[in-house]
Amino acid sequence: MTPASQSPDIARTYKELGRRLSLHGLLLRGGFHPDAGELALESGKPVATLLLVGHVGSGIWPAFQAARPEGPDPLDHWSREILDEVGTAFGARPAMPSDGPPYWPFQQWAMRAEPVFPSPLGILIHPVYGLWHGYRGALLFEEKLELPAVPVLPAAPALSARNTSMARPMRGFTWRRFSTARGRKRKTAGQRTGRLLFRARPVRALRRSIPAEIPAERPCRPLS
């Protein structure tokens, strides 16, 4: 229900944004209302609403290929152009994962906006789309927009007490190197985990629509 103090235009903004972004193969990935004093615009006014913009499956790639810009980091450049355009039209300030350093804490934002959870390597897993999703940016609003409720989904099996062995193949990884010896030691467990994840229905449904090459996401770290 729309609060009495909220104008119909503001209440419709979320759906209208979704329609505009869908023209580019993008979609709103949820949002939240930052705490008081957490974020501020260049004007000094506090950010009342943060909306994440991203993609799932392969929906982004036809639109991106049709308008692929020249030069380095074409996906980032293309995403920035779209968010600048949409932000201007809707009165929002865009924020990009590549802004920085310091970088915006997109992974922390994502876990507040929708029910994603970190894998043993820290990559966020979506309960429906698995790893086949990404975040292209965020829109920061001075106004407090009405947001849909974040769906409550059951915890992933990999996070339950009986399945903590999923993390063991990842012990070969550190932030600086990968130990082949330690990784090989857990190879069998890793293969079992991989087969279980690959047979998951959401991933299987998207398997045929994944492009041959998927541009990698830039790593983010919280603002210091």
Same-domain pairing of 13 and 119: yes
Say if 51 falls within a structural domain. Answer: yes
> What pLDDT score does 154 carry?
58
Same-domain pairing of 170 and 104: no
Choice between 207 and 44, residue whose per-residue pLDDT is larger: 44
Same-domain pairing of 139 and 162: no
Say if 114 falls within a structural domain. Answer: yes
Same-domain pairing of 25 and 79: yes
Would you say residue 27 has pLDDT above 50? yes
114-125 pLDDT, tens per residue?
999 998 888 899
Structural domain of residue 117, as residue ranges? Answer: 8-153
Q: What is the mean pLDDT of residues 43-54?
A: 94
Choice between 6 and 139, residue whose per-residue pLDDT is larger: 139
CA 19 – CA 117 distance, rounded (Å): 27
Quickly state the pLDDT bin for 204 (edges 50, 70, 90). very low
Same-domain pairing of 176 and 93: no
Q: pTM score, two decimals?
A: 0.68
Choice between 214 and 71, residue whose per-residue pLDDT is larger: 71
> What pLDDT score does 223 carry?
39
Give me the helix-helix angle, 8-22 and 74-90, nearest 10°: 150
Same-domain pairing of 78 and 102: yes
Q: Which of 29-38, 71-80, 190-199 has the least mean pLDDT?
A: 190-199
Same-domain pairing of 92 and 119: yes
Say if 209 falls within a structural domain. Answer: no
Say if 2 falls within a structural domain. Answer: no
Same-domain pairing of 118 and 86: yes
Same-domain pairing of 146 and 36: yes
Residue with tokens 């980032």: 76
> What pLDDT score does 21 carry?
95
Same-domain pairing of 100 and 172: no
Choice between 91 and 209, residue whose per-residue pLDDT is larger: 91
Would you say residue 193 has pLDDT above 80? no
129-171 pLDDT, tens per residue?
889 999 999 999 999 998 888 777 655 554 444 444 444 445 5
Would you say residue 190 has pLDDT above 90? no
> What pLDDT score does 99 carry?
93
Q: What is the mean pLDDT of residues 47-63?
A: 94
Q: What is the mean pLDDT of residues 99-122?
A: 91
Q: Which of 22-26, 48-52, 113-117, 184-188 has the least mean pLDDT?
A: 184-188
How many structural domains compose the chain? 2
